Amino acid sequence: MSEAKLMGNMFFSKKLVRMPMEGATDLEVIESMAGRLVEEGLVKESYVDAIVAREKVFATGLDLGVMGLAIPHTDAEHVHTAAMQFAILENPVEFCGMGDPDTKVQVKLVFMLAIKEAHTQIEVLEKLLGLAEEPEKLEALAACATEDEAYDMVLSIFGA
């Protein structure tokens, strides 16, 4: 299977798995990932600027103990099709912490969300925050050797 529907009917495909993804800064990572969603026709051109602007105000870096992850997202008005993109960064990148922009988080995993409905955002965030209680899953995800392996692991995390 090369594509699936996750929570809230979010589109996810192997084309939306990026690894190892290079990026020197959080904004470079976000712009590159958002650009891929635009290329795939899942979001509007405005998505790129909107997600960058939102990250500056509402940072999404989370320190889950064994590693950091980020969950950049923005408003539904910039989205054509609900989707998720996943990246394993080649080298950790510093993101500002969610809820505390003065805190810096070394992020290894990025889940970029293109959300159409608010309740889906809450469900996905709860699932990702739950990974803090399963550090072995986070470590296994970060250690994936191929895009196929990462794709399958994301599907298993979301029960798809």
pLDDT tens by residue, 24-78 = 999 999 999 999 999 999 999 999 999 999 999 999 999 988 899 999 999 999 9
Whole-model pTM above 0.95? no
Q: Which residue has the higher pLDDT, 88 or 6?
A: 88
Q: Which two tokens stand for residue 114?
A: 């293109």
Is 8 a residue whose pLDDT tops 70? Answer: no
Residue 18's SS3 state is: strand
117 pLDDT tier (thresholds 50, 70, 90): confident
Give me the pLDDT at residue 5, please: 76
Give me the pLDDT at residue 3, please: 74
Residue linked to tokens 């051109």: 45
Q: What is the distance between the alpha carbons of residues 67 and 105, in angstroms, rounded to a whole number?
A: 9
Domains of the chain: 3-157 (3.40.930.10)
Q: What is the distance between the alpha carbons of residues 4 and 99, in angstroms, rounded to a whole number?
A: 31
- Is the separation of the CB atoms in 110 and 104 below 8 Å? no
Give me the pLDDT at residue 7, please: 64
Q: Which residue has the higher pLDDT, 98 or 132?
A: 98
Q: What is the distance between the alpha carbons of residues 129 and 148, in angstroms, rounded to a whole number?
A: 23
Q: Which residue has the higher pLDDT, 107 or 101?
A: 107
CA-CA-CA-CA dihedral for 135, 138, 142, 146, to nearest 10? 130
